[in-house]
Amino acid sequence: MNTIKKLVITLMAAFFITLSFDHVAYGTDLALADEISDDSLENVEDGANTEIADLDNVEDELNSEIIDDTSDDMLADDEFDPDLYEIFEDEQGQIYYIKKEPIEQEVVVEELEEEEVKAKTKEKPTYSKKDLRLLSSLIYAEAGNQSYKGMLAVGNVVLNRVNSKAYSHVNTVEEVIYDRKWAVQFTVTVKNKSTGKSALDKALEYYDTGKFKGKNPEAEKKAMNRAIKAAKAALSGENYIGDFLCFRVNRNTASIRKKYSYKVLGDHIFYRTK
């Protein structure tokens, strides 16, 4: 070992001894430096190199983790969205892209204004129990032996008159049914002289009690149920005959067919729109 190398080792030994014992080294302590062999110096150098190598490994592992974190999530160049990634640059100038953690976004539910809610919600037509009772009974009395469509058409005539300018003097179901301004409009409202009851009166009793006194009570009950169903449909806006305002038994109707547009349903002919 040359003189300079020994001197450096001696100074290093003195420095470490001073740190270890927390006092100033004397000249006699320097003699310890001569006892440090070349092997000891090599061991110190090897230890330092080992620590440096360990630091390099740690840095390599860190870089590897960053690269691995982005390798699966990186997008193709034409699909890359920079807003989804954080940019990281190391000391050597290497740039890495780390995917950002997803941020939960609050779902904002817009409240509809009251008018918008009404516009989007289909309101169910409203009608009174009185109107349903009267219209059902009229349909039963006028068309109890007809099909459901024929029953519905009778209900349509009544409601068409409620809304027609030609019948501006009547504005309710009851007024239309019992209208006698020009003549009896519905013959089922005419009372029998011997019994004092009309066909409509009997139908109202059947509706109220559910008891039928005819020859075939079961069939009459089914007919009343169909009449109620047709009345509900008509009152809810279902229409099978359009704007027709009149109907009658389909016999001797040549003059009607010449004068008006018409529609025949079962035993009835429906006609006149004004």
Neighbours of 101 (CB within 10 A): 7
Percent of the chain whose predicted confidence (pLDDT) is above 70: 55
Same domain, 258 and 136: yes
Residues 152, 46 share a domain: no
What is the distance of C-alpha 196 from the center of its chain? Answer: 59
Total count of domains within the chain: 2
Contact between 33 and 13 under an 8 Å Cβ cutoff? The reply is: yes
**Residue 133 within any structural domain of the chain:** yes
What pLDDT, in 10s, does the model give residues 42-65?
544 454 455 444 545 545 554 444
Q: By CB neighbour count within 10 A (0-12 exposed, 13-18 middle, 19+ buried), where does 207 fall?
A: middle
Q: Is residue 115 part of a domain?
A: no
Q: Is residue 101 part of a domain?
A: no
Dihedral, CA atoms, 194, 197, 203, 208, nearest 10 degrees? -120
Listed residues 29, 45, 74: the one ending a domain: 74
- What is the extent of the structural domain holding 65? 3-74
Q: For residue 260, is it within any domain? A: yes
Q: What's residue 57's pLDDT?
A: 55
Confirm whether 99 is domain-assigned.
no
Q: Which of 59, 74, 89 is the last residue of a domain?
A: 74
pTM for the model: 0.56
Q: Does 143 share its domain with 21?
A: no
Burial 41-74 (b: 16+ CB within 10 A, else e): beeeeeeeeeeeeeeeeeeeeeeeebeeebeeee
Same domain, 65 and 168: no
